[in-house]
Structure 1
Amino acid sequence: MRRNWAARLRHGTIDGLRAVTLENERLRVTVLPGKGGDVVELLHKPTDTDFVWLAPQGLRDPRDHLQGAADDVAQFIDHYEGGWQEVFPNGGAPSEYRGARLAQHGEVAALPWECEVVADSPEEVAVRLSVRTRRLPYRMERIIRLRSGTAALEIEGRATNESGLRLHAMWGQHLVYGPPFLRPGARIRLPEGITVIPHESAINPPERRVGAGGAWPVVPAHGGGETDLSVVPEPGAPSDIVYLTGFGEEGWYEISGDIGMRVEWDATVLPYLWMWHELGASTGYPWWGRAYTVGLEPFAGMPTDGLAAAVANGTALVLDPHETKVARLRAEVLA
């Protein structure tokens, strides 16, 4: 039964792409099964705050080959509307794995996903998204759930190796934050004892541990100087990326300004947190000085050099024949 109260679902299209909206008294979450299962809205209704960054180029249909979808980088970047993507089986730069050429951030973010409703009651709503990769023998599922009365989005991801071979993958949640939520001076908190790995050291990482109480160390910044990673910089600050690990079984972080977001995930499957800043300093392709965003992305594997690099350094996810890996994640608004 169609409802305008408690937990509810809406189906429709956005710019010609299939869309599903999960909503309750506190959150409205819009997902695009027609484009990678992207989350393009994560709105806290009481404060009218959308947490996800929306790219200035807007939403583009990845089926539009006139936009350069055949290019290994453009396939993702030219159709990147911001928001929150599932990244699999490659993370970062294009890479080659056992004869398969993999584009920037892999396959699934550019594919249409099947979508079915698995819960639709006043107490909770949930949809299951599913897709098969085309260049490697994987099946992905993603159950997205919203319960009545909560400000928390729950996601359960499943990656299944459908072959009789032992295979590798990179798997990540490409979750980025932007205005109006993201502002200079916003704070980032982590558990104690986290290792910070600068990008330049990702192949042979030194250990830089967060101090007691979640205080961050300063780390070398691109172009010289140092960066305090616990504070979101002013517009125009240099672009940067680091990798964080050492979370134990459960990973978590909080990012907060006037209100905040706490993300928790299964760090036994996604043991790394990619943290990157793009704050307007990049004046060439693809940002043109127009981005102000921070990514905090749970991942299996690093660095952003692609799957082959992650296999070489031993951080890639391993899936045995016909094995399924399950990764759970919860994103809750702190208000």
Structure 2
Amino acid sequence: MTLNQRWHLEWHHGSLAVYATGGMLGNVEFKHAGRLVRPFYEVPWLADAEAAGAQGLVAHMRSEFPCVPFGVPYRANQVDEAWHAALTTSAAQYDPAMDASDDLLHGYGAIGEWTLVSQSASEIRIAIDYPTSSAISRLTRVIRADLAAPAIDFELHIEARRTSARPLGLHPNIALPSLTGALRIDPGAFAFGMVHPGGPEPGVSRARAGAQFSRLDNVPLGAGGHAAFDRLPLADDTEEILQLCGMDGSVTMIDEVADVAYRLTWDAAVLPSLLLWISNRGRRYAPWNGRNLCVGVEPIAGAFELGCQASLAANPINAQGVATAVTLDPEAPVTLAYRFEVC
């Protein structure tokens, strides 16, 4: 396989590329009202990640990718007290054969090299084999252009070597306009929302760590009071992660600058939460350097991005009846189907 191997699709309503590294979607354009729109975000250092000081997943992060398992380990002293127990219970208690690849940021598939299985005029199918010590055997990813519309249909097939449970997620990254509040997020129905229990950027994040809320336009702040997080970008430079739990499987994003709306739909019976990663110029260190302006709209079964340990343990989300992991069975591969469209 050549460096930066990619495969390309073009149809009447748009075009896209799929990259071998991380199996990532990139270079997406849709035709809308006689013009091209580009909904997705890609980090600005892709051309020279080494010079920018970017490593691992961050070095090649593009428009959308699967996360198996979802997250990365956190330490208990990094989070709100209500989450301490979930991060001090050993993950081995729930799965004694946890593998080192379970602790990679968003999983082996996000950094490994995928191979092409097949390609047609409307579909690209790629796959990756996980390390032999992993409970996960193989991922197969299908990216299919809807020939009748500006839309992409996805499938992710997860095969397991042994029965286990893991947090799973999807990671679409949406570009934000520069005008404050110009992109509106309509998440549809959800049971409750929760603020990331660790900040996630101490001294920068404004939402109150670990707080619960019922409306995205009325989220508690660490300094007191409430603020709206449904219109982005925010006026203040910040970094926020919010989890909308018990989702109905749909979120719409209305870009009032581009005069276009996008919809992401998925099977909420498998992935019952939506994680909102609001990267609002809040990371001042390399390679971010205060220039990242995007929102990750990420369907998950997980406890934020706190990794396997917190997601498999009893935690403040699954205590309220919302699953934070998916059972993987060697006899019954898991399939995640989802769709992104101009609407």
Q: What is the match of residue 5 of structure 1?
A: none
> What's the % identity of the aligned pairs?
23
2:195 corresponds to 1:198: yes
Query: CA-to-partner distance for each residue in 1:111-143, whole Å, 9 max, x for gaps?
Result: 1112133543xxxx1121111111513211111
Query: CA-to-partner distance for each residue in 1:284-308, whole Å, 9 max, x for gaps?
Result: 2441101111111111211211111
Query: C-alpha distance in 1, partners of 2:99/2:280?
Result: 34
2:188 corresponds to 1:208: no
2:322 corresponds to 1:325: no
- Counterparts in 2 of 1:221 and 1:49: CA distance versus 1, 3 Å: farther
Q: Note the C-alpha offset of 1:59.
A: 4.6
One-letter amino acid matched to 1:330: R
Pairwise mapping of residues 268-307 of structure 1 onto structure 2 (< 5 A)? Answer: 268-307=269-308
2:91 corresponds to 1:86: no
- Counterparts in 2 of 1:222 and 1:22: CA distance versus 1, 3 Å: farther
Q: Note the C-alpha offset of 1:80.
A: 3.3
Runs (5+) with no aligned partner, structure 2: 76-90, 200-208, 319-323
2:173 corresponds to 1:172: no
Query: CA-to-partner distance for each residue in 1:85-113, whole Å, 9 max, x for gaps?
Result: 21112424479763422211111011111
- Counterparts in 2 of 1:217 and 1:147: CA distance versus 1, 3 Å: closer
Q: Note the C-alpha offset of 1:201.
A: 9.1
Query: C-alpha distance in 1, partners of 2:182/2:191?
Result: 21
2:154 corresponds to 1:145: no
Q: Note the C-alpha offset of 1:330.
A: 0.5
- For the residue of structure 1 that corresponds to 2:312, the secondary structure is helix
- For the residue of structure 1 that corresponds to 2:290, the secondary structure is coil
Q: Note the C-alpha offset of 1:82.
A: 3.3
Q: What is the match of residue 44 of structure 2?
A: 56
2:118 corresponds to 1:127: no
C-alpha RMSD of matched pairs (Å): 3.0
> RCO (CA 8 Å, sep 6+): is it higher in 1 or 2?
2
2:161 corresponds to 1:158: no
Q: What is the match of residue 79 of structure 2?
A: none
From the two aligned structures, give the one with the greater helix fraction. 2
Query: CA-to-partner distance for each residue in 1:130-157, whole Å, 9 max, x for gaps?
Result: 1111151321111111132311100011
Query: C-alpha distance in 2, partners of 1:255/1:118?
Result: 30
Out of 239, 254, 257, the position equivalent to 1:256 is 254
Q: What is the match of residue 4 of structure 1?
A: none
Query: C-alpha distance in 2, partners of 1:281/1:327?
Result: 32
Contact 2:176 2:232 in 1 (8 A): no
Out of 182, 185, 191, the position equivalent to 2:182 is 185
Segment drifting more, 252-261 vs 86-95: 86-95
Segment drifting more, 189-198 vs 175-184: 175-184
Contact 2:128 2:139 in 1 (8 A): yes
Q: Note the C-alpha offset of 1:223.
A: 5.4
Q: Note the C-alpha offset of 1:193.
A: 4.1
From the two aligned structures, give the one with the greater strand fraction. 1
2:73 corresponds to 1:75: no
Query: C-alpha distance in 2, partners of 1:57/1:223?
Result: 34
Q: Note the C-alpha offset of 1:68.
A: 8.7
Query: C-alpha distance in 2, partners of 1:201/1:220?
Result: 14
Query: C-alpha distance in 2, partners of 1:56/1:118?
Result: 29
Contact 1:93 1:105 in 2 (8 A): no
Q: What is the match of residue 3 of structure 1?
A: none
Query: C-alpha distance in 2, partners of 1:59/1:194?
Result: 41
Q: What is the match of residue 9 of structure 1?
A: none
TM-score by length of 2: 0.77
2:104 corresponds to 1:117: no
Q: Note the C-alpha offset of 1:172.
A: 1.2
One-letter amino acid matched to 2:335: V
Query: C-alpha distance in 2, partners of 1:155/1:92?
Result: 24
Runs (5+) with no aligned partner, structure 1: 1-11, 211-215
TM-score by length of 1: 0.79
Contact 1:175 1:296 in 2 (8 A): yes
Query: C-alpha distance in 1, partners of 2:61/2:334?
Result: 28
Out of 2, 8, 13, the position equivalent to 1:21 is 8
